[in-house]
Amino acid sequence: MALKQLAIKTAQFIRQKPIDALLMLLFAIVIIKLSSLYFSVNADDGNWEQFKSEHSCKLLTTETGTRRLSWECDDKKEYYRWRQQR
């Protein structure tokens, strides 16, 4: 019975305030997407040292030595390891 009443109240809210309902739905979708991005990030860089040695990664620097935030590996890709710059 409670579920039926909730469905009725939800339908009434959507009919009375369609813009508000649309904004709430959009907000919920954004929150879910941001949560999925947050939890899919690999925060553990524990295997970076092994990857770096297996792929012959070299630290990229400029002529002045100021740019030290990226690594170039044998696959010709540039990797940014922010956590390594402690």
Strands 58-60 and 70-72: antiparallel
pTM over 0.75: no
The string of pLDDT tens digits covering residues 11-35 is 999 999 999 999 999 999 999 999 9
Residue 66 pLDDT greater than 70, yes or no:
no
Half-sphere exposure of 38 (CA within 13 A, CB side): 6
Give the residue extent of every domain in the chain. 2-40, 48-84
**Could you tell me which of 27, 24, 2, 3 has the C-alpha nearest to residue 13?**
24
Residue type, 28: A
The string of pLDDT tens digits covering residues 39-62 is 876 655 677 788 888 889 888 887
Residue 85 pLDDT greater than 50, yes or no:
no
26 within 8 A of 18, measured Cβ to Cβ: no
Residue appearing with tokens 């590996």: 73
